[in-house]
A and B are shown apart, each in its own frame.
Chain A
Amino acid sequence: MLKMTHLSKVYRTEVVETYALRDFNIDVKEGEFVAVTGPSGSGKTTFLTIAGLLETFTGGEYHLDGIEVSQLNDNARSKIRNEKIGFIFQAFNLIPDLNVFDNVEVPLRYRGMKAPERKERIMGALERVGLASRAKHYPAELSGGQQQRVAIARALAGSPRLLLADEPTGNLDTQMARGVMELLEEIHRDGATIVMVTHDPELAARAQRNVHIIDGQVVDLAEDPRFHTAYTAAAGQIRG
């Protein structure tokens, strides 16, 4: 589903080159739930923005659902974002001027979908996240957890092949975070491929597989004694 090979991302200024990702390799299979962890500045978010075609990369290869994306133009990248990827952002990123229904509708409109189908999908997605009754509410009238559920509904409405979540519970209290996480797990059980960036070991442990990034590279936690103990302990607590 998502395969990056020897991928690099370099930010260049006149005096310095900074590698955000270096010789980065990852392979996410269809139906997997992968948590990407790592300390601040490790390259997690850069990985996610490249994975979501929000940014280009400097070198290497990236295949998304079998398509090599490095040569795609802006319109083709927009089309893939719209049809194959669903985004869940830490700050929800709902459009404050639009109500819940209209927010969920945004990606469907860009797909050129007819109104009856849009409505069916929007209401289906809102029912799935338990917010069908709030369709006419504005984001400011909802709690943080509800807003994130709307964002998840927006991501799901287009039936994407890949769901990318960037710290989806980062702005929520524990109870709300638990609810959102349960929702993601449910979506995964229904067959979705999910890649979630998080710095929270507890959340990461609930994913099927963990990928850890340090200094722009994927490292194997099992072979790194510095991290092995902490993550297995956290995973044990959650699963226990």
Chain B
Amino acid sequence: MQIRPILAALRHHKAGSLLIALQVALTLAIVCNALFIIHGRLTHLSQPSGVDEDRLLVVENQWAGKPDAGHIGSMMSADLNFLRQMPGVSNAYATDAYPLRGGGMSYGIGLVPDKLKYAAESALYFADENGIDTLGLKLVAGRNFRADEIGQIDAHSPIEPAEAIITVDLAKALFHGQAAVGKVIYLSAKPTVIIGVVERMQIPWTYSDMAKWSGNSTLIPLRQLVDTFDYVVRTEPGQVDEIASRVRAALYAQNRMRVIDADGGVLTYAQVRAKAYKNDRGIAILMSAISLVLLAITGAGIVGLTSFWVGQRRKQIGVRRALGATRNDILSYFLTENLLIAVAGVTIGGVLAVALNFWLMKQFEIDRLAPGYVLAGVVALLVLGQAAVLAPALRASHVPPVEATRSV
């Protein structure tokens, strides 16, 4: 290896070498953190909601004419009977929210009747005896709601269910591994008995600051008789798009006194997911684009500088060839030269990547950068550098030795 003379020669090209090293360093710092954020977003948006998304669609229904609670209850029951009898539909229920909806209720769940002393945060979902089956949730302990347990409340009624079904995650948060069924929790001053535990049901929100309790959900046996609510419809396998295309017209035919938005009033769960993670996907795409642009600029910078150096040192290359350098010696010279610059760049870049991560941790509460990302970034930039330098280095290796005798 001819590292010492290459380093000696680089001392005479400080500005160019330093610029490329800094470019590599900045690219590494930004790309490492960008990849870390991208991975975080992709992990976030690919986590399972716990519901059988392939067979679900949701309908946002708003009653027209301000009907009273009693009337709403009867119209809702008629709708649900109608939906369950639609060909291609296997079940349906009415609720205020569902996983990934983007809106809903969250409660502090207590183990004592004191609102200020809650043990865990949880999303609260209204459900009936069809809720678990409709959503495709897996009951892992206890039982489902019975039809006679389903209460009806209006918009102003207190939420004081006698029973609840909670998720495994919430059970763990509340009881730390002890059996949850039969235990009492408090949503208000009145006790609620846990009658069942379902495997997973994600909360309606996808904000990163809620990620720590994204699996904490509570189903309560209540039907809220308000103007606006959602029907969750479970279809037969492969029927979801077909039902989604005709459910709005079918419900209008059943009862015209309603508003179902033609644009977004009926959503398949795939659309619900896409909407919920639009920002995450957008950030992942933006970060990917920034990373690719930075890598391309760095690659182009290396190609440009090396091409310039090859042109500038054409005579010198000829002299080296005349003195016995093989084509491989010349190729290896430029590859090694780039490697030395890139190693300096990634060394500085590694430190910058960690520093940038600390700053991002403080500013945006993102997680600590895993060392694997820095390592992957280092490898990627070293490979990029060698790939970028290859074409000009190959050109250099083809400079003939007779170049040594030509006047400049």
User: Could you tell me which residues of chain B, from 349 to 408, have a CB within 8 Å of some CB in chain A?
Assistant: 400-402, 404-405, 407-408
Q: Which B residues are in CB contact (< 8 Å) with A98?
A: 5, 8-9
**Closest residue on chain B to residue A151 by CB atoms:** B319
Alpha-carbon distance between A83 and B325 when the two chains are bound, in angstroms: 11
- The answer to whether B5 touches A109 (Cβ under 8 A) is yes
Alpha-carbon distance between A140 and B134 when the two chains are bound, in angstroms: 85
- The answer to whether A95 touches B319 (Cβ under 8 A) is yes
**Closest residue on chain B to residue A49 by CB atoms:** B402
- The answer to whether A106 touches B323 (Cβ under 8 A) is yes
Interchain nearest-CB distance for B316 vs A (Å): 5
User: Could you tell me which residues of chain B, from 315 to 334, have a CB within 8 Å of some CB in chain A?
Assistant: 315-316, 319-329
Residue B12, interface by CB 8 Å: yes
Q: Which A residues are in CB contact (< 8 Å) with B316?
A: 95-96
Known: A52-B322, A111-B324. A89 touches B404 (CB 8 A): yes
- The answer to whether A79 touches B324 (Cβ under 8 A) is yes
- The answer to whether B327 touches A74 (Cβ under 8 A) is yes
- The answer to whether B327 touches A106 (Cβ under 8 A) is no
- The answer to whether B404 touches A109 (Cβ under 8 A) is no
Residue A117, interface by CB 8 Å: no
- The answer to whether A102 touches B322 (Cβ under 8 A) is no
Alpha-carbon distance between A7 and B320 when the two chains are bound, in angstroms: 26
Partner of A87, one of B315, B323, B407, B408: B323
Partner of B322, one of A54, A96, A105, A109: A54
Residue A81, interface by CB 8 Å: yes
User: Could you tell me which residues of chain B, from 253 to 304, have a CB within 8 Å of some CB in chain A?
Assistant: none
- The answer to whether A154 touches B323 (Cβ under 8 A) is yes
Residue B2, interface by CB 8 Å: yes
User: Could you tell me which residues of chain B, from 93 to 151, have a CB within 8 Å of some CB in chain A?
Assistant: none
- The answer to whether A54 touches B5 (Cβ under 8 A) is no
Tell me how many residues of A have a C-beta within 8 Å of chain B.
Answer: 33
- The answer to whether B402 touches A106 (Cβ under 8 A) is no
- The answer to whether B404 touches A110 (Cβ under 8 A) is no
Interchain nearest-CB distance for A135 vs B (Å): 13
Alpha-carbon distance between A205 and B395 when the two chains are bound, in angstroms: 43
Residue A141, interface by CB 8 Å: no
- The answer to whether B329 touches A55 (Cβ under 8 A) is no
Partner of B326, one of A45, A78, A91, A106: A78
- The answer to whether B324 touches A82 (Cβ under 8 A) is yes
Partner of B9, one of A53, A74, A91, A95: A95
Q: Which A residues are in CB contact (< 8 Å) with B8?
A: 97-99, 102
Interchain nearest-CB distance for A104 vs B (Å): 10
- The answer to whether B324 touches A107 (Cβ under 8 A) is yes
**Closest residue on chain A to residue B326 by CB atoms:** A78
User: Could you tell me which residues of chain A, from 61 to 105, have a CB within 8 Å of some CB in chain B?
Assistant: 74-75, 78-79, 81-83, 87, 89, 91, 93, 95-99, 102, 105
Partner of B5, one of A93, A102, A166: A102
Partner of A91, one of B320, B328, B407: B407
**Closest residue on chain B to residue A93 by CB atoms:** B319
Known: A54-B401, A81-B401, A96-B12. A105 touches B5 (CB 8 A): yes
Interchain nearest-CB distance for B48 vs A (Å): 60
Residue A35, interface by CB 8 Å: no
- The answer to whether A81 touches B324 (Cβ under 8 A) is yes
Partner of B404, one of A74, A93, A99: A93
The secondary structure that dominates the B interface is helix
Interchain nearest-CB distance for A158 vs B (Å): 8
Interchain nearest-CB distance for A16 vs B (Å): 21
Residue A126, interface by CB 8 Å: no
**Closest residue on chain B to residue A94 by CB atoms:** B319
**Closest residue on chain B to residue A138 by CB atoms:** B12
Alpha-carbon distance between A48 and B402 when the two chains are bound, in angstroms: 10
Alpha-carbon distance between A236 and B13 when the two chains are bound, in angstroms: 51
Residue from B8, B321, B324, B405 having most chain A Cβ neighbours under 10 A? B324
- The answer to whether B324 touches A78 (Cβ under 8 A) is yes
Q: Which A residues are in CB contact (< 8 Å) with B323?
A: 81-82, 87, 106-107, 110, 154
Alpha-carbon distance between A188 and B322 when the two chains are bound, in angstroms: 22
Q: Which B residues are in CB contact (< 8 Å) with A95?
A: 9, 316, 319-320
Alpha-carbon distance between A8 and B288 when the two chains are bound, in angstroms: 60
Alpha-carbon distance between A52 and B405 when the two chains are bound, in angstroms: 11
Known: A78-B325, A110-B329. A89 touches B9 (CB 8 A): no
Q: Which B residues are in CB contact (< 8 Å) with A54?
A: 321-322, 400-402, 404-405
Alpha-carbon distance between A49 and B327 when the two chains are bound, in angstroms: 18
Q: Which A residues are in CB contact (< 8 Å) with B2?
A: 109
Alpha-carbon distance between A82 and B157 when the two chains are bound, in angstroms: 96
Partner of B400, one of A52, A55, A83, A87: A55
- The answer to whether A49 touches B405 (Cβ under 8 A) is yes
- The answer to whether B327 touches A87 (Cβ under 8 A) is no
Residue from B316, B321, B323 having most chain A Cβ neighbours under 10 A? B323
**Closest residue on chain A to residue B2 by CB atoms:** A109
Alpha-carbon distance between A68 and B352 when the two chains are bound, in angstroms: 58
Alpha-carbon distance between A79 and B12 when the two chains are bound, in angstroms: 29
Alpha-carbon distance between A111 and B319 when the two chains are bound, in angstroms: 15
Q: Provide 28 A-B residue pairs closer than 8 Å at the C-beta atoms, listed in order of the A residue.
A: A45-B405, A49-B402, A55-B400, A55-B402, A75-B326, A78-B321, A78-B324, A78-B326, A78-B401, A79-B326, A81-B321, A81-B323, A81-B324, A82-B324, A87-B404, A89-B319, A89-B404, A93-B319, A95-B319, A97-B9, A97-B12, A97-B13, A105-B5, A106-B320, A107-B323, A107-B324, A109-B2, A158-B324
Interface residues of B (CB under 8 A from A): 2, 5, 8-9, 11-13, 315-316, 319-329, 400-402, 404-405, 407-408
User: 7 closest A-B pairs (Cβ-Cβ)?
Assistant: A82-B324, A97-B9, A107-B323, A110-B324, A97-B12, A54-B402, A54-B401
Task: A74-B326, A87-B323, A106-B5 are known; give 7 further A-B pairs, CB within 8 A.
Answer: A55-B402, A75-B328, A78-B329, A81-B322, A82-B324, A98-B5, A107-B324
